[in-house]
């Protein structure tokens, strides 16, 4: 099986890679690993440092200054809960507030690839891979976010998608809903992308990531030949024949946004999805 559940761990494995999440003691879903394949029930959360970070807020439930969502690697970060890095989702509630506090609710594994009715996507037959739906919920508002993952083991591909469901009777405004976030506890990456113009598309460009954000986007209603919804995060020294890198492609032909951010403790976050504007 390419998807394994072990206590609080959710591990997705392809032939050469593994992607791991962990449900923490407060119910938040942390991202613990994406890289070379790990075997057995290895818990990669040991890589997360719990240190008192001044001026990084702490959830009320913990009263613990070493616990801060502002520096912990999250699977689907939200706006308004103390994480000031790039977020994936923003909503406006009927009273005008915009805080969202998503916590783990449930998950379900199925054979084959999850379906996105009416939308483009990567597909495969039922006997070629597995999917898992991880449900997060904000109990105060009734918003449920369904994180969808498809694992095509033999091709080292993991697909991502997100559904936002309003389980309440209230009218809510979703201002932003991105498809994926990848948090990595190190920041020593170059970002590779392909810019261009008419009759000169897909020009290679490689830039080192610095502290702060680097944004690639299109607001043209199309992915455009000015910017392409595909990036590579490459470790220093990685080339076409050796080294470590992660590729992310947004399978959509409309406006998009990709942000790469290096935070105050040298961690890297990559978010990808529909442009909110």
The rounded percent of the chain whose pLDDT value lies above 90 is: 87
pLDDT, residue 1, reads 74
* Domain closes at, from 180, 213, 231: 180
Give the number of domains in the chain: 2
Sequence-separated (6 or more) residues with CB below 8 Å from residue 240: none
Beta-strand runs (E) in 112-199: 130-138, 143-152, 157-166, 173-184, 189-197
**Edge-to-edge strands, sheet with 256-262:** 89-92, 173-184, 268-274, 256-262, 212-218
Residues in the chain: 277
Question: Within 10 A of 186 (CB to CB), how many other CB atoms are there?
Answer: 11
> Residue 77's beta-bridge partner residues?
none
Tell whether the model's pLDDT for residue 141 goes beyond 90: yes
CATH of the domain at 113: 2.70.98.60
Q: Round to the nearest angstrom and report the end-to-end CA distance of the chain.
A: 40
What is the domain extent for residue 256? 186-274
- pLDDT digits over 93-104, tens only? 999 999 999 999
Q: Tell me: pLDDT of 125 over 90.
A: no
Q: Are strands 173-184 and 227-235 parallel, antiparallel or unpaired?
A: unpaired
Look at residue 29 and give its three-state secondary structure: strand
More confident residue, 124 or 277: 277
Domain check: are 63 and 196 in the same one?
no
pLDDT digits (tens, 9 = 90+) for 4-29: 999 899 999 999 999 999 999 999 99
Using left for φ > 0, alpha for ψ between -120 and 50, and beta otherwise, residue 199 falls in left
User: Do 265 and 238 share a structural domain?
Assistant: yes
- Structure tokens given for 22: 């962990």
> Residue 258's CB: how many other CB atoms inside 10 A?
25
- Mean residue pLDDT of the chain comes to 94
With the C-alpha atoms ordered 49, 50, 51, 54, is the resulting torsion angle positive or negative?
positive
- Given 116, 148, 180, which residue is the final one in a domain? 180
- For residue 124, pLDDT beyond 90: no
The answer, yes or no, to whether residue 80 has pLDDT greater than 80, is yes
Domain end call among 180, 195, 211: 180
User: Is the separation of the CB atoms in 148 and 179 below 8 Å?
Assistant: no
Give pLDDT, residue 87.
98
Q: What does the pLDDT look like over 153-209, one tens digit per residue?
A: 999 999 999 999 999 999 999 999 999 999 999 889 999 999 999 999 999 999 999
Is the same domain home to 83 and 157?
yes
202 with 76, same domain? no
In eight-state DSSP terms, residue 199 is T
């Amino acid at each position: 099986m390419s998807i394994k559940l072990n206590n609080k761990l959710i591990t997705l494995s392809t032939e050469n890679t593994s992607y791991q999440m962990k449900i923490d003691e407060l119910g938040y879903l942390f991202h613990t690993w994406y890289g070379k394949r790990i075997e057995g029930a290895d818990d990669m959360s040991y890589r997360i440092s719990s240190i008192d970070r001044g001026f990084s807020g702490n959830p009320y439930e913990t009263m613990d200054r070493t616990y801060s969502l502002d520096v912990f690697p999250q699977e689907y970060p939200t706006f308004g809960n103390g994480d000031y890095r790039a977020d994936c989702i923003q909503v406006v509630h009927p009273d005008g507030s915009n805080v969202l506090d998503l916590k783990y609710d449930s998950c379900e594994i199925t054979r084959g690839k999850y379906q996105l009715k009416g939308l483009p996507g990567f597909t495969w037959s039922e006997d070629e891979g597995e999917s898992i739906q991880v449900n997060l919920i904000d109990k105060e508002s009734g918003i449920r976010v369904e994180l969808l993952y498809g694992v095509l083991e033999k091709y080292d591909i993991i697909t991502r998608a997100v559904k936002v469901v309003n389980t309440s009777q209230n009218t809510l405004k979703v201002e932003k809903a991105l498809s994926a976030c990848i948090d990595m506890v190190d920041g020593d990456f170059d970002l590779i992308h392909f810019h261009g113009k008419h009759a000169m598309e897909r020009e290679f460009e490689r830039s080192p990531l610095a502290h702060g954000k680097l944004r690639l986007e299109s607001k043209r209603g199309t992915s455009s030949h000015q910017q392409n919804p595909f990036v590579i995060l490459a470790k220093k020294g990685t080339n076409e024949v050796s080294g470590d890198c992660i590729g992310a492609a947004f399978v959509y032909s409309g406006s998009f946004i990709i942000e790469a951010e290096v935070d105050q403790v040298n961690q890297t976050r990559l978010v990808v999805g529909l442009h909110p504007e």
